[in-house]
């Protein structure tokens, strides 16, 4: 199971590097927009649209990182009252159900992006909209991968009779 944790950690490092790059880009572009508007009475027409789509990227990558550590939004009233192997089994069921849902969302968002590509809509400067929207199926896919890895870890805890605490 250490291999699974190693894979999970490697993906997290890559995601964190991308997040840092995107956030730095957002801060720089937002600051540039402020200076251009206040000092030169001019702004980049595409700047605000680009920033909005970068927020989408930050959201999905951040959701994947939250899923890695089981810090995503969830209702865990039942699993808090369980102990030992029963708690691990409950976590396994939750991860498998979440995996199923994120796979459905991955498929739906992939169909959406493919239809946007076929439609040929552009955001700014003739850049296709789907270039920025591709993060949606990628993000759901990453979350699905994380739920799968977490399910494997929970399965290991069920087999070993672990406490469910990770």
Query: 22-26, 45-49, 109-113: lowest mean pLDDT where?
Result: 45-49
Mean pLDDT, to the nearest integer, of 81-88? 80
Q: Is residue 8 part of a domain?
A: yes
Which residue is listed with tokens 């459905």? 104
127 beta partners: 124
**Residue 105: per-residue pLDDT:** 98
Checking if the pLDDT of 161 tops 80, the result is no
Domain count, the chain: 1
Q: Is residue 165 part of a domain?
A: no
Candidates 24, 83, 29, 63; CA nearest to 143 is 63
Q: Is residue 18 part of a domain?
A: yes
Mean pLDDT, to the nearest integer, of 42-64? 94
Checking if the pLDDT of 54 tops 60, the result is yes
Q: Is residue 44 part of a domain?
A: yes
User: Considering the entire predicted model, what is its pTM?
Assistant: 0.87
Mean pLDDT of the chain: 91
3-state secondary structure of 36: helix
Domain that holds residue 96: 2-160
Q: Is residue 166 part of a domain?
A: no
pLDDT digits (tens, 9 = 90+) for 120-152: 889 888 999 999 999 999 999 999 999 999 999
Q: Is residue 34 part of a domain?
A: yes
Dihedral of alpha carbons 84, 158, 15, 136, sign: negative
Q: Where are the alpha helices (DSSP H) in the chain?
A: 2-40, 47-68, 77-81, 84-119, 130-133, 135-160
Q: Is residue 10 part of a domain?
A: yes
Q: Is residue 25 part of a domain?
A: yes
């Amino acid at each position: 199971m250490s291999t699974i944790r190693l894979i999970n950690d490697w993906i997290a490092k890559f995601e964190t590097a991308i997040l840092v790059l995107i956030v730095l880009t957002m801060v720089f572009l937002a600051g540039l927009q402020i200076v251009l508007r206040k000092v030169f009475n001019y702004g980049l027409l595409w700047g605000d649209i680009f920033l909005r789509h970068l927020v989408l990227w930050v959201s999905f990558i951040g959701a994947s990182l939250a899923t890695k550590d089981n810090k995503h939004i969830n209702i865990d009233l039942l699993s808090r009252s369980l102990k030992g192997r029963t708690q691990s089994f409950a976590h396994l069921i939750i991860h498998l159900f979440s995996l199923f849902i994120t796979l459905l969302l991955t498929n739906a968002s992939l169909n959406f992006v493919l239809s946007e590509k076929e439609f040929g809509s552009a955001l700014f400067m003739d850049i296709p909209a789907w270039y920025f929207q591709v993060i949606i199926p990628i993000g759901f896919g990453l979350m699905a991968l994380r739920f799968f890895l977490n399910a494997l870890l929970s399965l290991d805890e069920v087999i070993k009779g672990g406490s469910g605490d990770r």
